[in-house]
Every structure is written in C-alpha cells, then in structure tokens.
Amino acid sequence: MKIVVCSDTHRNYHKLKYVVEKNLDADAFIHLGDGEHEFNDVRNLHPEKSFLFVRGNCDYADNKTVRIANANGIKILCVHGHEQHVHIGLEELINVAKQNGCQIALYGHTHLYRTELIDGIYVMNPGSIDSPRDKRPPTYGVLTISSDKQITMNIVAIDLDAYA
C-alpha cells in the first residue's frame, strides 16, 4: 500500500495538485493540516481516491485534529502536531501513538521533514510543499506498507523545474 503524506500547503493549490497527480498510483493521500481549502479542492478532482485530513493550527473548519488510520492492519496516528508540542520534542507524539496502539506517527507543523524510528514507533514529518524551513526544498512523504507489514518511509523533494 502506497500512501502519500503532505502537510503545510498553506493555500498552495497548484503544488498540492501537482503532488497528487504525480502520485495517482497511490492508494491513499493524507494531509496533516494547514491546507484545508486546497485539500478539499484537490480531493474533489479525484473522488475515486482515498483522502484523509486533520486540522492544523491555521485551519478553521470543524475537522478533527487527531485521526487514526488503518493500512494493511497497521494503525497510523495522524496529527498536525501543534497540540502535541512537536516544536519542543516528540515525546508527547510518541505517547499518543502508543496510547492508541499505533505503529506509525505522522505529524506536520514544523515545516521540516523527518523520518526515524523512535521507541518502536515509525515517525514521519513530510515537511512542507509550500513553505519549507531551514533552506530545505519543498517535500512530501511516501509511506509504503507491504502485505507482510513491512514499513518504508521516504521523503520526496519536489522538482521545482518540473513543477514550473
């Protein structure tokens, strides 16, 4: 199962549309917040695809800030991260994942990509498609869960020449 993960698109409809359409082979798309308007617009273009959204600190709709997804029998915690104080550290994020029986924790908010295994939890921040920090390129994540429950996390930089 291939899942495309993005966050912090901050009204950049064109870049989100580019990422989704470049990955139409994905089984699902997860948006980790701060992009509700463009998320809804792109989702409406592809009603045949599975989309999940969590509300970020810059979103205003009545969406959940924590969601648990299930992919090939693997539970995935999906949050924006502001409520788990990810700017300070990932301890609270890891605790919430464990409390919910999740093997994967996805978060955004910091605009900095990251993948690692922390205390048995696969952790991914896909970075930001629109406004990365620390002079990093715009990025999104690809999460792959095989039928035998092997988990792979990759960060993909957006080729700005191809996008333009």
Give the pLDDT confidence of 116-126 residue by residue, as tens digits. Answer: 999 999 999 99
pLDDT digits (tens, 9 = 90+) for 10-29: 999 999 999 999 999 999 99
pLDDT digits (tens, 9 = 90+) for 25-55: 999 999 999 999 999 999 999 999 999 999 9
Give the start-end residues of each E strand in 15-73: 28-31, 50-53, 66-71
| Dist. CA 161–CA 95, nearest whole Å | 40
CA dist 30 → 19, 53, 65, 75, 134 (Å)? 12, 6, 13, 14, 24
| Dist. CA 113–CA 163, nearest whole Å | 20
pLDDT higher than 60, residue 164: no
Structural domains in the chain, CATH included, are 2-163 (3.60.21.10)
Per-residue confidence (pLDDT) for residue 96, from 0 to 100: 98
Mean pLDDT of 87-98: 97
CB 83 within 8 A of CB 95: no
pLDDT higher than 80, residue 62: no
Work out the end-to-end distance of the chain between its first and last CA atoms, rounded to an integer number of angstroms. Answer: 29
50-53 and 66-71 beta bridge pairing: unpaired
Task: Quickly state the pLDDT bin for 160 (edges 50, 70, 90).
Answer: low
Per-residue confidence (pLDDT) for residue 162, from 0 to 100: 66
